[in-house]
């Protein structure tokens, strides 16, 4: 039997976090976490971020990436993951 190397940490629903998204979180929005602590499975809640902060994220992402996120395309909640945010931003850009 041959062993195949498969990625074990990411699923198709959880894209890898881009350097731009990590920089947006840590530099522009001052999230106090090292880039190694930010993974697709990390929730906003676990970072201590509430729904008001999520609106700030949307506005910052629109400005930073030059995208417009329609209200129904981005349904983020504090329990949402960074992977879900990355996927939403990826589908619009």
pLDDT tens-digit map of 54-78: 888 888 888 888 888 777 566 889 9
Share of the chain above pLDDT 70, in %: 75
Look at residue 22 and tell me whether its pLDDT is greater than 90.
Answer: no
The CA-atom distances, in angstroms, between 31 and each of 10, 27, 45, 64, 93 are: 23, 7, 12, 16, 23
0.75 exceeded by the pTM? no
- Give every CB contact of residue 89 below 8 A, 6+ residues apart in sequence: 21, 61, 65, 67, 69
């Amino acid at each position: 039997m041959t062993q195949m190397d498969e990625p074990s940490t990411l699923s198709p629903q959880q894209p890898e976090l881009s350097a731009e998204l990590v920089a947006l979180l840590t530099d522009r929005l001052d999230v106090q976490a090292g880039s190694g602590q930010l993974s697709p499975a990390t929730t906003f809640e676990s970072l201590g971020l509430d729904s008001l902060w999520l609106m700030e994220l949307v506005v910052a992402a629109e400005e930073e990436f030059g995208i417009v996120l329609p209200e129904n395309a981005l349904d983020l909640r504090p329990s949402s993951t960074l992977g879900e945010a990355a996927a939403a931003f990826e589908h619009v850009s």
